[in-house]
Chains A and B, each alone.
Chain A
Amino acid sequence: MPAGFNSLLPALVLIVLFFVVPVLALLLRSVTEPEPGLQNYATLLGDGTYARVFFNTFLVAAVVTAVTVVVAFPVAWMLAIMPSALASIIFGVIILSMWTNLLTRTYAWMVLLQRTGVINRALLAIGIIDQPLPLINNLTGVTIGMVYIMLPFMILPLVGTLRAIDPMTLRAAALCGASPIQAFRRILLPLSLPGLAAGGLMVFVMSLGYFVTPALLGGTSNMMLAEMIAQMIQSLLNWGLGSAAAFILLVVIMALYALQLRLVGARRMTGGI
């Protein structure tokens, strides 16, 4: 096991041969099929149907990110300061949810969100609604399912950020005269911002390219990008258009990561898991 460059070779060969080359080949197909040129990109960016898909994708990713951030923050806050016995129970629940098979969780939501599912029946029984809500096969269902999947990815790193804040700093703020609301707005929130931004961007990027949940909980009329790409390849066998769409997704996501790297530094993003 030499400590130099050599021991990196197996990994490099694997990644270059079975990751970089296939992705580049895909890129090549997007400008060569059905004939050389940029017509695939022109089609994707010029057609209203596709624009709708791009819009849906960004909309869902943005809503999922916003909801996830707002829901995750109080939970991470409590996890950072609660007694460790209680915290380990909550952590256990989070890990269980995170490690449970993705399809299993999505299947559960498919059943829960059905027209005759538990949630609609419960809401009807309480009397909040008198018609079953359309919770599935639309963007509402996708959003609920995605928030569910993304929450652990937001909560866990945020706990680290919050634990790194010295409680004394908040005591100092209180003695300085800051009311709890002022201390939250001027001290706790700004100090949590790096964690919120990093987690938020990660959730946003993951949501942009997510395939499984939108495919199962979404509807045919409101498709998201990843699902559209899969469909173009699998059902329509339109490799040129599919690869071009994949490449657009790839460029957007790489640009967002580059932005994050500039903001927080490479080490903190990849070294923290």
Chain B
Amino acid sequence: MLLDYDRMGWLKIALLGFTALVAAFLLLPVVFIVLLSFGSSRWLAFPPPGWTLKWYRDLFADPSWLEAALTSARIATMTAILAVMIGLLASFALVRGQFRGREILRGLLLTPMVLPVVVFAIAIYAFFLRLGLGGTSIGFVIAHTVLALPFAIIPIATALEGFDKSIEDAAIVCGASPFEARLRITLPSIRIGIFSAAIFSFLASWDEVVVAIFMASPSLQTLPVKIWGSLRSDLSPVIAAASSLLVGLTLALMVVTALLQRKVKT
């Protein structure tokens, strides 16, 4: 009765203990980084000798951090918009379309997700060097949209598969045009899928390091590139402060997602 939670006896205790340890392991770096960002030790001693907001002051005093964050936000927003739009169109074709090679094309569109990013990074880097797109915002957005597209297609296509097409047909029978029916009936029904697609594509770009390292120029740096550069030079607590803000952002995003999902359920 290994799947009866209430009747596993000592085994349950042991497995729960192990699960708690793993959860602690997963939580450790996240909590640690936040604590560290308030520690007064320049050398990251832990537990810190005292508490301070100095690193946050340093962070905000340096305009290059804010600039990098804004660049990242701009590129990630454009990436999310593009990926969701292209992904939405593609999902309709992949779920509803009747043409040969549909499964192969589906596989092709999802390939960027499974291919090592480093291979794509050097390929697109070389390609953009020739096109003169290296180090430009447009180049960033295009490359990130390629990487984000699978993360947009999967939730939208899954939601679309779960949506009963006869409801859309019913709207058309009621007199709506096919376009109107999709806009007013189908899209609202799969909005959770679209919302997930937007979050995932945003994060795919926001957190993207490898392509960004190759593509970045001194005048155009995303936040991960800025952090990467600092990490390679020293482990300054300013990075901990920046990282803590990112953890806060993640938490906020999780809360929003959870609230939205609850709202849809009720």
- Do A and B touch (CB < 8 Å)? yes
Question: Which A residues have a C-beta under 8 Å from some C-beta of B?
Answer: 1, 3-8, 10-12, 14-15, 18-23, 25-26, 29, 71, 74-75, 77-83, 90, 92-97, 99-112, 114, 116-118, 121, 148, 151-152, 162, 165, 167, 169-171, 174, 180, 183-184, 187-188, 205, 208-212, 216, 226, 229-230, 233-234, 239, 242-243, 246-247, 249-250, 253, 257, 266, 270-271, 273
Chain B proximity of A214: nearest CB distance (Å)? 10
Taking a contact as CB atoms under 8 Å apart, the answer to whether B114 and A205 are in contact is yes
Task: Give residues 94-119 of B contacting A (CB, 8 Å).
Answer: 94, 96-99, 103, 105-112, 114-119
Chain B 9-21 against A: per-residue CB contact (8 Å), 1 yes, 0 no?
0011001101100
Q: A95-B254, A99-B253 are known contacts. Are A26 and B123 too (CB-CB below 8 A)?
A: yes
B44 contacts which chain A residues (CB < 8 A)? Answer: 111, 114
Separation of A257 and B105 alpha carbons in the complex (Å): 16
Q: A11-B109, A81-B5 are known contacts. Are A151 and B26 too (CB-CB below 8 A)?
A: yes
Taking a contact as CB atoms under 8 Å apart, the answer to whether A151 and B92 are in contact is no
- The 22 listed contacts between A and B (C-beta, < 8 Å) are A10-B90, A11-B89, A11-B90, A12-B108, A15-B112, A18-B142, A26-B122, A26-B123, A74-B22, A75-B19, A75-B23, A78-B16, A93-B27, A100-B246, A116-B43, A116-B45, A165-B3, A183-B1, A187-B2, A253-B114, A253-B115, A271-B154
Taking a contact as CB atoms under 8 Å apart, the answer to whether A103 and B118 are in contact is no
**Besides A75-B22, A78-B12, 17 other CB < 8 A contacts?**
A4-B98, A12-B108, A15-B112, A71-B22, A75-B23, A93-B26, A94-B26, A96-B250, A103-B227, A106-B231, A151-B22, A165-B3, A169-B3, A209-B119, A211-B118, A266-B103, A266-B106
Chain B 117-153 against A: per-residue CB contact (8 Å), 1 yes, 0 no?
1111111111100000000000000110110010001
Taking a contact as CB atoms under 8 Å apart, the answer to whether B3 and A100 are in contact is no
Task: Across the interface, name the chain A residue whose C-beta is closest to B32.
Answer: A108
Separation of A1 and B23 alpha carbons in the complex (Å): 45
Separation of A81 and B4 alpha carbons in the complex (Å): 7
Question: What are the nearest 4 A-B pairs in CB distance?
Answer: A209-B116, A108-B29, A167-B3, A8-B93
Taking a contact as CB atoms under 8 Å apart, the answer to whether A7 and B89 are in contact is yes
Separation of A226 and B119 alpha carbons in the complex (Å): 8
Taking a contact as CB atoms under 8 Å apart, the answer to whether A103 and B115 are in contact is no
Taking a contact as CB atoms under 8 Å apart, the answer to whether A249 and B19 are in contact is no
A184 contacts which chain B residues (CB < 8 A)? Answer: 2
Taking a contact as CB atoms under 8 Å apart, the answer to whether A1 and B123 are in contact is no
Question: Which B residues have a C-beta under 8 Å from some C-beta of A?
Answer: 1-5, 11-12, 15-16, 18-19, 22-23, 25-30, 32-33, 36, 43-46, 85-87, 89-90, 92-94, 96-99, 103, 105-112, 114-127, 142-143, 145-146, 149, 153-155, 157-158, 161, 178-179, 182, 203, 206-207, 209-210, 213-214, 224, 227-228, 231, 235, 239-240, 243, 246-247, 250-251, 253-254
Q: A19-B120, A96-B254, A103-B209 are known contacts. Are A112 and B246 too (CB-CB below 8 A)?
A: no
Chain B proximity of A213: nearest CB distance (Å)? 10
Taking a contact as CB atoms under 8 Å apart, the answer to whether B92 and A1 are in contact is yes
A26 contacts which chain B residues (CB < 8 A)? Answer: 119, 122-123, 126
Q: A78-B15, A210-B116, A271-B158 are known contacts. Are A107 and B240 too (CB-CB below 8 A)?
A: yes
Taking a contact as CB atoms under 8 Å apart, the answer to whether A11 and B203 are in contact is no
Taking a contact as CB atoms under 8 Å apart, the answer to whether B149 and A107 are in contact is no
Chain A proximity of B225: nearest CB distance (Å)? 10
Separation of A77 and B143 alpha carbons in the complex (Å): 38
Q: A15-B146, A81-B5, A174-B1 are known contacts. Are A29 and B231 too (CB-CB below 8 A)?
A: no
Q: A96-B251, A99-B254 are known contacts. Are A104 and B26 too (CB-CB below 8 A)?
A: no
Separation of A111 and B23 alpha carbons in the complex (Å): 20
Taking a contact as CB atoms under 8 Å apart, the answer to whether B116 and A208 are in contact is yes
Q: Which of B92, B122, B143 contacts A243 (CB 8 A)?
A: B122
Residue from B154, B231, B240 whose CB has the most chain A CB atoms within 10 Å: B231
Separation of A68 and B43 alpha carbons in the complex (Å): 32
Chain A proximity of B231: nearest CB distance (Å)? 6
Taking a contact as CB atoms under 8 Å apart, the answer to whether B15 and A14 are in contact is no
Q: A1-B179, A209-B119 are known contacts. Are A14 and B149 too (CB-CB below 8 A)?
A: yes
Chain A proximity of B178: nearest CB distance (Å)? 8
